[in-house]
Amino acid sequence: MAELTRPGTKLNAHDLASVVSLTLQHYDDRAEKFREGTLGHDVSQNIAALLQHIEGKPPAAILDLGCGPGRDLRAFVALGHAPIGLDGSPSFVAMAREGGCDVWEQSFLALDLPHNRFDGIFANASLFHVPGQELPRVLLELRVTLKPRGVLFSSNPHGHNEEGWHHGRYAVYHDLQSWRRLMLKAGFIELAHYYRPTGLPREQQPWLASVWRK
Q: Are 121 and 142 contacting, i.e. CB atoms less than 8 angstroms apart?
A: yes
Composition of the chain by helix, strand, coil, percent to 5:
35, 30, 35
Rounded to the nearest 10°, the torsion over CA 181, 197, 32, 103 is: -50
Strands 162-166 and 169-173: antiparallel
Per-residue pLDDT tens, the chain, 214 aa: give them: 446 665 567 899 999 999 999 999 999 999 898 888 888 888 999 999 999 999 999 999 999 999 999 999 999 999 999 999 999 999 999 999 998 999 999 999 999 999 999 999 999 999 999 999 999 999 999 999 999 999 999 999 999 999 999 989 999 999 999 999 999 999 999 999 999 988 888 889 999 999 999 9
β-strand pairing of 162-166 with 146-157: unpaired
163: buried, middle or exposed (CB in 10 Å: 19+, 13-18, 0-12)? buried
Q: What whole-number distance in Å separates Cα of residue 92 and Cα of residue 72? A: 13
Residue 8: the pLDDT is 62
What whole-number distance in Å separates Cα of residue 134 and Cα of residue 212?
A: 19
> Which CATH number among 3.40.50.1820, 3.40.50.1970, 3.20.20.70, 3.40.50.150 corresponds to the domain 13-213?
3.40.50.150
- DSSP string covering 150-204: EEEEEEEE--SSEEEEETTEEEEE--HHHHHHHHHHTT-EEEEEEEESTTS-GGG
118-154 CB burial, b ≥16 within 10 A, e <16? bbbbbbbbbbbbbbebebeebbeebbebbbeebbbbb
